[in-house]
Amino acid sequence: MKKFKRTPNPAFKLSEPLDETLLEDLGVTAKTPRDDIIHLIKEHLNRRNKKCAICNKKYESKALIINYRRPTSKGGGDNIKNLQLLCWDCTTLKGNNTMLEVRKKLKLQKSKHLKEK
Ligand SMILES: [Zn+2]
């Protein structure tokens, strides 16, 4: 059996109980250990995209952190479509915002920057 290389993932926690959609997406059972599920999510997202979803820079898998596009506190769920990989800087930048809010924030920063020039 393939062994998982585990990397710490402090910014991501799966909520209880696990979303059934997520389990179906990944083909795991409710008995799969939590750490393995987190690793499977990462592998799944990495297969599609090895870049940070916000800054678009390429990173090694271990440098990317699983993040909710829409935070659970704002109604987002544990399904693959709501998960993405971000670098540490963008995770900090995104905080508890939705992707839409982050894009607005970035646009504001950009236009401010342009005005200063
Ligand atoms: Zn980034």
Residue 22 CA to ligand 1 center (angstroms) comes to: 24
Residue 88 in domain:
yes
CATH number for the domain spanning 105: value is 3.40.1800
Give the whole-angstrom CA distance, residue 85 versus residue 53: 6
Residue 91 CA to ligand 1 center (angstroms) comes to: 7
- For residue 84, which phi and psi values (nearest 5 degrees)? -150, 170
Residue 66 CA to ligand 1 center (angstroms) comes to: 12
What is the amino acid identity at position 108?
L
Residue 7 in domain:
no
Residue 9 CA to ligand 1 center (angstroms) comes to: 15
Q: Measure CA 60 to chain center.
A: 14
Domain that holds residue 27: 20-116
Q: Which tens digit of pLDDT belongs to each residue from 26-76?
A: 778 778 887 788 788 888 887 766 899 999 999 887 788 889 999 988 988
Residue 84 in domain:
yes
Dihedral angle of Cα 5, 25, 13, 49, to the nearest 10 degrees: 60
What is the pTM assigned to this prediction? 0.71
